[in-house]
Amino acid sequence: MIYLDHNATTPVDPRVREEMLPYLVEIFGNPSSLHSFGRKAKEAIEEARIRVAHLISANPKEIFFTSGGTEADNLAIRGIASYHKDRGKHIITTAIEHHAVLLCTDALEKEGFKITYIMPKKDGIVSAEDVLKAISKETILITIMTANNETGAFQPIKEIGRRLAEHNKKRTAKDRVYFHTDAVQAVGKTPFDVDKLQVDMVSLSGHKIYGPKGVGAIYIRQGSRISPITYGGQHENGMRPGTENVPGIVGFGRAAEIANSEFYKMKEVKRLRDLLERGILERIPDVQINGSQDMRLPTTTSISFSGVFSESLLAVLDQKGIAVSSGSACNSSSPSSHVLKSMELSKETMLSTLRFSLGTGNTEEEIRFVISATAEAVDKLR
């Protein structure tokens, strides 16, 4: 079996699993308990917080564990909307966000918020200028992903952060425009520093960086004014109440630590991704790569195979033991992609697109096999 769907989820690193196991067996205490069982669990959570903070150059006090990237996105958006709604109800985002953002802003729109969806250029990247120009007196939040899950395209977070900081210069925590980024796909693959990027909030997820599913975190810059979206206790400083997912948090912490010390592995992943692309372009006529080819994740390529239904191609490749995706995992039931659509791809091209997303476990032998298998399959289907 060859797994090329790492943007949907990654396998758990054996070192992560190893670190989690004791917390599923003997160290079962409730982190809120005052006895030694509880204290051990609490210590493990605080160690994980330090590790996750380190991965994005944040202070551990600014990390709040959640059930994943989706909850982190919702907390950032709803949390700011709820705290600041009396001074403004305008939010700026993009048309290419993950559904965790888009369906959340949709819901807010129904509640009376005004949402501006910035369109990307044909390369899948929004312009910082367009984002800044959309700011009005009513704007309370800008939320833009760091890297897109379908094309891998990096968005100009640093430039937006710099220009927004300029805009916010004379404002306080009460009246500034907050900046959130969904960095679920970017962290662990590219260095990420909350101060250099000048972001206020960042969404993270464990299972996209070789950690477990069902755990993630939100970074919230100290001094930010934001409301929780659930109530129930003082866990995570009241920002995210509920008894902590201790094994998950421990695993996420270890995964963050490994990612932070093994960035060098991305060089090989990029080499294999480029090899895959070149192989496909050389072997198969009438194919195109979608989105920017320089400003993107080292792991990802979105390729359209003219005249072939991606669903059929996916099925043939699956029979050969190769796992790829025809869009994002979250809307694999609907064949058209809001991301590719916003990049002005024709419906035909959209329906003939596959996403290959590589990971640290893939080998050159696998990639060579995938190139021949894809060439054969496309030939047969055409």
Ligand X SMILES: *Cc1c(COP(=O)(O)O)cnc(C)c1O
Residues that bind ligand X (CB under 6 A): 68-70, 98, 100, 145, 149, 182, 184-185, 205, 207-208, 216
| Contact between 276 and 367 (Cβ < 8 Å) | yes
Q: How far is the CB of 69 from ligand X (least distance, A)?
A: 3
The dihedral region occupied by 96, where left means phi > 0, alpha psi between -120 and 50, and beta the remainder, is: alpha
Q: Which residue of this chain has its Cβ atom nearest to ligand X in the complex? A: 69
Q: How far is the CB of 205 from ligand X (least distance, A)?
A: 3
Tell me the backbone φ, ψ of residue 150, rounded to 5 degrees. -95, -40
Tell me the backbone φ, ψ of residue 254, rounded to 5 degrees. -65, -40
Residue 209 vs 377, nearer CB to ligand X: 209
Close Cβ partners of 326 (under 8 Å, ≥ 6 residues apart): 310, 311, 314, 332, 335, 353, 354, 355
* Catalytic residue annotation: 330
Q: How far is the CB of 271 from ligand X (least distance, A)?
A: 23
Q: How far is the CB of 67 from ligand X (least distance, A)?
A: 7
Question: Which regions of 10-112 does DSSP assign to beta strands (E)?
Answer: 63-66, 90-94
- Kindly list the distances between the CA atom of residue 214 and the CA atoms of 82, 205, 320, 328, in Å, as whole numbers in the listed order: 25, 8, 30, 18
Q: Write out the H or E segment, with its range, that includes residue 341.
A: helix 338-342
Residue 75 vs 287, nearer CB to ligand X: 75
- Mapped onto helix, strand or coil, the DSSP state of residue 160 is helix
Q: How far is the CB of 219 from ligand X (least distance, A)?
A: 14
Residue 70 vs 374, nearer CB to ligand X: 70
Residue 155 vs 374, nearer CB to ligand X: 155
Residue 220 vs 371, nearer CB to ligand X: 220
> Whose CA is closest to 301, among 279, 319, 334, 330?
279
